[in-house]
Amino acid sequence: MENRSIDWVLVLLKIAAASVFAGRAYQHLFWDAPYRELLWDDKIMAPIIEALTPWTWQEYVTNLAVDDSIQRWMVVGGIFYLLCAVACLFYDKMPRWIQWPIWLGVAGQVLLALLYMKEIFMHAGQFFEYALQFGAPVFLILAYRNVGRVQNPADVLSDKLVFTMKLATALTFACHGLYAVNFYPRPGQFTGMTMQILHCSEAFALKFLTIAGWLDFAVAIGIFLPKQWAKWFLLYAVFWGSATSIARLWGNFYADFPLQSIHEWAYQMVYRFPHGLVPLVLWIKYRG
């Protein structure tokens, strides 16, 4: 890769990592996150609460002060994720120790993925669908570590890092495909967004999603082929990863309530930006 391509790769990785934290920051500050899925799970938490606090389990789950505390801590988490987003966006201008708060932010993203998995009956696909999201800040840190170690700019994206990025991409697309083909129960939101964007019938939307799901599986396999073939699968991944991110807002935007639509859906689009940006980084690597 040329030096200019490396510069673009690093910029895209910064945007990808920052977008995850920015989207989750907005979610924590203005909406909700599934922490109660764990904190109100009696099988896990009841023995802990009754051993460490003066409350019974019933007193704990009905205590409004506890719920208020959870909400306040989510706001704190939102502020922390916002700071992580800024740190990623200006990573090359930050002191080296800034990577440690970002690693903590990554751990928070992994926890969120686990909680979302728990929320829908422990479907493993739900967890691994987030691979590009919690992976994006990791890719940024590892790429900048290579900047100071390699002489050839092309080696900033080392073979090991490229493989890891491809693995995260494959997991995200394959798991997304599992829902699209109805291996896991297909979310009604998928069908509704497709109908809204394409102005089509439900029957057509279901067929469209099934085809899209099989193409997701093709991407998960094709990106591991020799680069002369893999780059075409990556190019499709750039398109489809970006499209499915934008669809969160486009498919739920109502002209009668523009600000409410943006408030409710834009952050869900933003934290999915790595679904298109990370494949774009890999495509630049293979194109070069």
pLDDT at 288: 62
pTM value surpassing 0.85: yes
Residue (of 32, 108, 98, 42) closest to 70 by Cα position: 32
pLDDT tens track for 230-268? 999 999 999 999 999 999 999 999 999 999 999 999 999
Q: Cα(203)–Cα(268) distance, rounded to whole angstroms?
A: 26
Residue ranges in the chain whose pLDDT is less than 70: 1-3, 151, 153, 288
Identify whether the C-beta of residue 28 lies closer than 8 Å to the C-beta of residue 112: no
pLDDT at 1: 63
Q: Please count the other Cβ atoms lying within 10 Å of the Cβ belonging to residue 132.
A: 27
pLDDT at 287: 84
Identify whether the C-beta of residue 123 lies closer than 8 Å to the C-beta of residue 130: no
pLDDT at 2: 63
